[in-house]
Amino acid sequence: MENCIYNKVKTVVFLLFAYLITGCSSVNLPPATIHQSDTTDAESYKYLIGPGDVVNIFVWRNPEVSGTFVVRPDGKITTSLVEDIDVTGKTPTELARSIESILATYLRDPVVTVTVNNFVGPFSEQIRVIGEAAQPQSISYTQYMTLLDVMIVVGGLTEFADGDSATLVRVENGVQKQYDIYIEELLKDGNIGANVDVLPGDIIVIPEAWF
């Protein structure tokens, strides 16, 4: 009798635990925020600074406030005069003008030049390749980059890829759109007509083939 009661209690506890686990796992996370690049075509592209970039700031006649700075994950840098300067999402020229405005509090008519090393750029400007690429990864965009350029960087397709069923996802006017791309035709058949321009923020999805 005691064993029967004990087994029933164990069963109730197990079912309650399973219910709690199932209830917790059924809660949906909010969808990721859609980030749209300002670049709508290759001609209009301007490089934007992002986390991980190394920026060189030269202040004319003021070497003590010049220097080289790594952009932090929060998109900011700290200089000898000013802490927490927002730099992510700005062009080098825009950042130079912004720093001039900030330094005008401390210096007379500052003239600033900004250059960038170790190009990474904001996430919204990177191209992501996922699925059956040899080396799936995020790639920093370069002006006039094409699908062929991207596939060279990721090492082509795996043996299991269905390259001609791949899609390119792009955010246009706040809406995600999907375009068919034919990677196998491009790489294996040499069909240059299948080579298309890519833009900052594009996502390339390469599915596995059904055998």
The pLDDT profile of the chain, 211 residues, written as one tens digit per residue, is: 555 544 444 444 444 545 444 555 567 888 877 678 889 999 999 999 999 999 999 999 999 999 999 999 999 999 988 989 999 999 999 999 999 999 999 999 999 999 999 899 999 999 999 999 999 999 999 999 999 999 999 999 999 999 999 999 999 988 999 999 999 999 999 999 999 999 999 999 999 998 6
- DSSP letter (8 states) at residue 29: P
Which residues in the chain are classed under CATH 3.30.1950.10? 44-117
pLDDT recorded at residue 67: 96
Which residues in the chain are classed under CATH 3.10.560.10? 123-206
Q: What is the rounded distance in angstroms from the CA atom of residue 75 to the CA atom of residue 84?
A: 9
Question: Would you say 135 and 154 are in contact if contact means Cβ atoms under 8 Å apart?
Answer: yes
- Dihedral of CA atoms 147, 138, 97, 54 in degrees, nearest 10, equals -120
pLDDT recorded at residue 22: 52
197-210 in b/e form (b: 16+ CB < 10 A) is ebbbbbbbbbeeee
Query: Within 13 Å and on the Cβ side, how many CA atoms surround 172?
Result: 9
Cα angle for residues 127, 121, 85 (degrees, 5° grid): 155
pTM of this prediction?
0.81
pLDDT recorded at residue 27: 77
Classify residue 196 as exposed, middle or buried by CB count within 10 Å of its CB (0-12, 13-18, 19+).
Answer: middle
CA distances from 5 to 1, 2, 10, 15, 112 (A): 6, 5, 9, 15, 80
- Specify the fold of 123-206: Outer membrane lipoprotein wza fold like (3.10.560)
pLDDT recorded at residue 47: 96
Polymer length of the chain: 211
Positions of E strands within the chain: 54-59, 67-70, 76-77, 85-86, 112-117, 126-131, 137-140, 166-172, 175-181, 203-206
* Strand partners of residue 85: 77
pLDDT recorded at residue 4: 54
Classify residue 81 as exposed, middle or buried by CB count within 10 Å of its CB (0-12, 13-18, 19+).
Answer: middle
pLDDT recorded at residue 9: 45
Q: What is the rounded distance in angstroms from the CA atom of residue 12 to the CA atom of residue 14?
A: 5
State the CATH architecture for 44-117: 2-Layer Sandwich (3.30)
pLDDT recorded at residue 3: 52
